[in-house]
Structure 1
Amino acid sequence: MSVLSAKVRLRRRAWFALWAAPLPIWFALFFMGPMLLLIAMSFWSVQNYRLTPDFSLSAWSYVLSLDFLWSTFWRSYGLSLISAALVSLLAFPASYAMAFLITPARRLTFLGLALAPFFTSYLVRIYSLQVFLGEGGVLPQLFHSVGLSGASLLNSYTALFLGHATLTLPVVLVLQTLALGNVDRTEMSAAVNLGARPQHVLRHIILPAARPGLSLGVLFAFLLSYAEFVSATYLGGGVFQTLPILLTDLIRGGQQWPRAAVVSLLMMAALMLTSLVTVAWAYRQKGN
């Protein structure tokens, strides 16, 4: 009997291991493998425009000695953080309405409409924004008709933010709606019955309960904006030096892949640290 039970347990463990195997395999192939290659590449060298396996600190010393490296780093970080915060605030009223003010059937319809932009190429959406923001475009003409400046909005922080919003707003909207939709209605009803005002219910019940989902929405908006290259190039015009633009400049300047690997590792370190801090704050215990 014990031998039979041992065989059953062994089969169950093998079955569970078979189902769990894709996750570590995926993690090794698509994260740890490229990460280790990127680390190794940062110590390689370029000889006669060819990437050569080596152990050299030249790429690290070159990148870290750039005068504009840290200004570019903090510009990219700050722009992405501000864009994530503004997009989250912009999406919240719509998310709140979909979570609490409309029926579930209509909510699904609106969520489907929120995801509709992903059926179009992001590059196409950015090109269409050029038509709206460029000189003689829709928005400049609208501003001119009300007596404001009708100059082109391209190559500005406004255009860069609109590009980030085009990419991240649908994602944030969906995450916020799902987070708010899981808030316990019983606590909300009890607070209202005890005379709590709507702003107090929002502050003390809804926001704390939905904090993980709302925080993840901000985090995803930040992650997508931080590594965004298309908006910085076609809407910002390359005027605002960001880390993705610096990456392309390093590669074009003599196929300097090791230097690009160093910048990529710095970006990944910032992203990982920000993600850990955000997740730790999102899932901390109430009252801490």
Structure 2
Amino acid sequence: MSEPLPTPDTGPAPLAATSRRAAGARFAVFWGAPPALWQAAFFLVPLGFLVAMTFWSVKNFRLTPDATLANWMFILNAGFFRSAYVYTFWLAALTAVIASLAAFPAAYTLAYKVSPATRRFMIFMLVVPFFTSYPVRIYSTQIFFSPQGIINTVLVPLGLGPLQVLNTPTGTVVGYLVLTLPLVVLLQTFALANVPRILIEAAHNLGCGRFRTIWSVIIPSARIGLIVAGTFAFVLAFGDYVAPTYLGGSRPPTLSILIADQVKSGNNWPRASVVAVMMIVTLMVVMLVMIGLAYGRRKERA
């Protein structure tokens, strides 16, 4: 007679694994619930209220709950909105490109060319500007670029001035860079520092020069961090109000200035809400596209 087949082990091991998974789930829920509740209370609920307000109306300078599409039709068909949208998008994209290109040499130097102690000190110096209020930094920039400011005081005797930066799109971009450039340098430095050194050494052993190694090895390996840094620059510049107001002179207006103008013009919060919702949708689309660019090739390789 043949021997009976052994029965599978259903002892305490599977129960222990199930218990560990349950404990892990409880741990995740316990620590994940507070930030989830915070986001729901202070982001999702206000966002829902903002969207609902786009369908309200203003009667006798007072907000009235309604269900009208008049605000959407007015804003989307208004020439001033389309002009402000294109202008804001263009300046934010230009800022992201300039910040990414200008930050890369500094980030490369911090990641590969200086000692760890120097890198830590320079990272600290890049964080220091965030200790100061952003409007204060913009006012300081205003002093630098004013007609009697420090820069023109130096350039005029040399026959190179006066340099007109304030109340121009250039002034707005300068303000955006004041806001975004330190952050972009930090993010790029962390991205480049995490590139495996063995890849760089292998490229050098195969005869790649410095620039080819940067282009063929370092940039592809740090692609995610570099794209995230540029995306952060775009997001911060797209929604900024201070730089276009105090350095750009509010003319032409950006979308953030347009929101303030709609509120000041007859207390029209519903139209301002339409502009705000369009900004949020734009930023979400841009972030999804950039995340797809950052992680797309990795998914294909996987």
Selected match of 1:65 from 77, 81, 103: 77
- State how far apart, in whole Å, the 2-side matches of 1:84 and 1:200 are: 24
Asked if the contact 1:136–1:152 (Cα under 8 Å) also holds between the matched residues in 2, the reply is: no
- CA shift, 1:151, in A, is 4.6
Task: Tell me whether 181-190 or 39-48 shows the greater mean CA deviation.
Answer: 39-48
Residue 228 of structure 1 aligns with which residue?
A: 240
**Inter-partner Cα distance in structure 2 for 1:93 and 1:275:** 25
Instruction: Provide TM-score, normalisation by structure 2.
Output: 0.90
CA distance in 2, matches of 1:186, 1:58: 61
| Rg larger for | 2
**Which residues of structure 2 form unaligned runs of 5+?**
1-10
Matched residue, 2:282 = 270
**Take 1:10 and 1:79, find their aligned partners in 2: how far apart are those partners?**
50
Quick check: 1:140–1:153 contact (8 Å CA) kept in 2? no
The DSSP-based 3-state class of the residue aligned with 2:296 is coil
Secondary structure of 1:46's partner? strand
**12-21 vs 267-276, greater mean Cα deviation:** 12-21
Mean Cα deviation higher: 152-161 or 211-220:
152-161
CA contact 1:155–1:237 (8 Å) conserved in 2: yes
Alpha-carbon spacing, 1:206–1:46, altered in 2? closer, same or farther (3 Å): same
Counterpart residue type for residue 244 of structure 2: A
Counterpart for residue 176 of structure 2: 164
Aligned to 1:27: 39
Q: Unmatched 5+ residue regions in structure 1?
A: none
Q: Sequence identity of aligned pairs in percent?
A: 40
Kept after mapping to 2: 8 A contact 1:154/1:236: yes
Tell me: CA distance 1:27–1:141, structure 2 relative to 1, closer, same or farther (3 Å). same
What's the CA shift string for 1:237-282, capped at 9, x where partnerless?
1122110111100000111111011001111111111111111101
**Aligned residue number for residue 189 of structure 2:** 177
Distance 1:159 1:12, change over 3 A: closer
Distance 1:164 1:82 in 2: 10
Distance 1:11 1:189 in 2: 44
1:208 and 2:212 equivalent?
A: no
* Gap change, CA 1:169 and 1:9, over 3 Å in 2: closer
- Greater shift, 148-157 or 184-193, is seen at 148-157
Q: Secondary structure at the match of 1:241?
A: coil
Aligned residues: 288
Task: Give 1:8 deviation, angstroms.
Answer: 6.8
Which letter maps to 1:252?
K
Aligned-residue Cα RMSD (Å) equals 2.0
Q: Do the aligned residues in 1 keep the contact of 2:145 with 2:163 (CA within 8 Å)?
A: no
The SS at the match of 1:68 is helix
Give the match for residue 270 of structure 2: 258
Contact 2:100 2:230 in 1 (8 A): yes
Partner letter of residue 192 of structure 1? H
Cross-structure match for 2:7: none
CA shift at 1:11, angstroms?
4.8
- Check 1:244–1:9 CA distance in 2 against 1; reply closer, same or farther (3 A cut): closer
Alignment of 1:13-162 (within 5 A): 13-162=25-174
Query: How far apart, in 2, do the equivalents of 1:199 and 1:98 lie?
Result: 17
Specify the code of the residue in structure 1 equivalent to 2:199: E
Deviations 1:146-166 (A, max 9, x none): 212315421122211110111
How many angstroms does 1:19 deviate by?
1.9
Partners of 1:199 and 1:7 in 2: CA distance:
54
**2: distance between equivalents of 1:212 and 1:11?**
33
State the TM-score, normalizing by the size of structure 1: 0.94
